[in-house]
Structure 1
């Protein structure tokens, strides 16, 4: 996606893309699978794998049991899963690994298959995402606003949408995976924006990276107009992107539902856990294009976007959904909130009380605590890169004074990023915002054994409300 947004889906994730591995072969039945999912969209029927209870078949999900151990989610290892007799599950060949209780103590994902047929003791005890939320948090998109369904669906299935997008959603759904538009598109359109302002799309879902890349390979192979689009994948963040032919922008960026608590990147299938990792409540909305529903997992996003507000003034509240403890995560969230404060500073009804309360809870020595993590200059370089991308040219004097009023943590962070040795004019080559794609993948061991990376909460990439 457009790197000026800063990250994926309002999650705090560093990203360095590498070319995505192409699946060894395209599996049969892709077109038929897309047709079944498209039919489900039109009729509102449940898609295989999304019913509860889950008798199977379908993919493994968080909360399932394997050998009596609870499934956490999915990690990634560069290279195929070792096999003794056959080529193995297609997603396993692209790096997916199953994570169980106890894997939090390992330095990397174990060599464990995600293929349900490899686990004869599998008990499908986890709840499918379609049944994780009660009715208060699931809304028909047509009930929220006239034209909202047409606007959101048009981004995927409309005449101006890249040809592969709708087919990709339908394929994932027919394979039993949930897939949702996330980040700026549902946020801005629910708040009254226009589809023309959405430059590119963020998505999330239950499919781990290998499954998603396999699906991309299949639909691009079938779509003559999109066959040359280059995919990109980052093993360090598990972000999957599909670029335009000229590589000048991303048309789609995907990462599985967020999963924290492990010393390496991982994804899961829990909607609420994912939402709690996002930067602001207004960015927790998801749109289900198969069932044409808007999901508000934490129950705050629609209200904080002013939905249901009477009169011409629609209140917009900027509130973090959680209280992260990691200092780098806090700094990135603070900078992200500052970006929105600057972007929406002239918006009537902007309510910053919740944000102010959170910032004033932060330690006054936040920059020193980042230094104490002993991660070298990389974290400051990344934060400076994000800040300069989000606020090109830097904030005005009046904006700086407004941000300093949030307290010593905000002032200290601004001071640190404004010093000459912390500023950068461009992202490092091959880095998260670099123009070049790395030739060789970077493994998950880059963190070093036992080092907990910054928890993932989600950054924004789209235009203003």
Structure 2
């Protein structure tokens, strides 16, 4: 289900305004994130060092020509009705969203309602979508979301959801990733993580793209599936996420085109994490990711700064802290010498 766009709805990337074509949204960091912190980005401003001082219009009343909604920009064969994938999938998604005792159960429904009331679009994605679609709803640990609402606007909607649900929580927006998250007022696990459809076109953190562009910013095809919990449709922008998830052994295929060594190192850690998790159950075929990494020399990590190593050490602890070191090295070796070298260093420096 994709509602028709109107002037009472929000401005989206691709819309044509009097001043130019909307390319996305920036954000001015604030301890109290709100819609006034969002910044409108226009095509041709990709080389700017920071977002311009231009707020986002309250609605699409000034739009001269509407862009199609993100799901409508995709090839029809990459958007599926949930029941054609699994006739129980809509019920499973609804039950998992409302799961008693989960960090997100008390707020997910209110959050989805507020976002859709504002005429924005929202998808379940990342690990939440992957595990539910795979039939492993019991393995869901986090509520991962993406959508069209810019981070400041989403923060306002989350505030309204807080009132609707009666649950007190603290909201924040990361200035580096523009990820919106919240924790209970008295502390505890994150209730959700939301990021506006990602954009890699600007020199500063930006968002507001479409499903294809957002998928290219993710790590693997199996993590690039998007579930609309209102329309109960499943979008597969890479065209192979669903097939790779269903394959036995499961195929772990990297889609992010990054050449940045830190980003590549984090992709390796996640590949080892998933391979370790799926060994003994679905299995994990690392062949295509290994081929992608084959050109990396074992010395590729030599130029990483101490701050990068510190970050990787934390990532490694969170991803693989409970796994046997020898198993980690064995899985990394299957990804090539650069991956094996990375894990050898991390296992040495990890406290």
- Is the pair's TM-score, using the shorter chain for normalization, greater than 0.5? yes
Contact 2:150 2:196 in 1 (8 A): yes
2:211 matched residue in structure 1: 271
1:178 matched residue in structure 2: 121
Structure of higher RCO (CA pairs closer than 8 Å, 6+ residues apart): 1
Name the TM-score, length of structure 2 as normaliser. Answer: 0.90
2:321 matched residue in structure 1: 392
CA deviation after TM superposition for structure 1 residue 55, in Å: 4.9
1:237 matched residue in structure 2: 177
Contact 1:170 1:290 in 2 (8 A): no
Gaps of 5+ in 2: none
Q: Which aligned segments of 4 or more residues in structure 1 are displaced greater than 4 angstroms?
A: 116-120, 157-161
CA deviation after TM superposition for structure 1 residue 68, in Å: 4.9
| 1:111 aligned onto 2:111 | no
CA 1:241 to 1:91, structure 2 compared with 1: closer, same or farther past 3 Å?
closer
CA deviation after TM superposition for structure 1 residue 116, in Å: 5.0
CA deviation after TM superposition for structure 1 residue 394, in Å: 5.5
| 1:418 aligned onto 2:328 | no
Contact 1:55 1:124 in 2 (8 A): no
1:327 to 240, 255, 261: 261
Contact 1:366 1:412 in 2 (8 A): no
Contact 2:197 2:214 in 1 (8 A): yes
Question: Equivalences for 1:122-137 in 2 at 5 Å?
Answer: 122-137=63-78
1:404 matched residue in structure 2: 333
Paired residues in the alignment total 348
Paired with 1:247 and 1:91, the residues of 2 have a C-alpha distance of: 22
1:345 to 279, 285, 306: 279
CA 1:316 to 1:405, structure 2 compared with 1: closer, same or farther past 3 Å?
closer
Residue aligned with 1:361, SS: coil
Contact 1:364 1:409 in 2 (8 A): yes
Paired with 2:332 and 2:139, the residues of 1 have a C-alpha distance of: 27
Question: Equivalences for 1:167-206 in 2 at 5 Å?
Answer: 167-194=110-137, 196-206=138-148
| 1:70 aligned onto 2:11 | no
Deviation readout 1:73-110 (Å, 9 max, x if unpaired): 11111359xxxxxxxxx9542x1011112322222111
Rg larger in 1 or in 2? 1
CA deviation after TM superposition for structure 1 residue 184, in Å: 1.2
2:90 matched residue in structure 1: 149
Gaps of 5+ in 1: 1-43, 81-89, 426-465
Contact 1:180 1:204 in 2 (8 A): yes
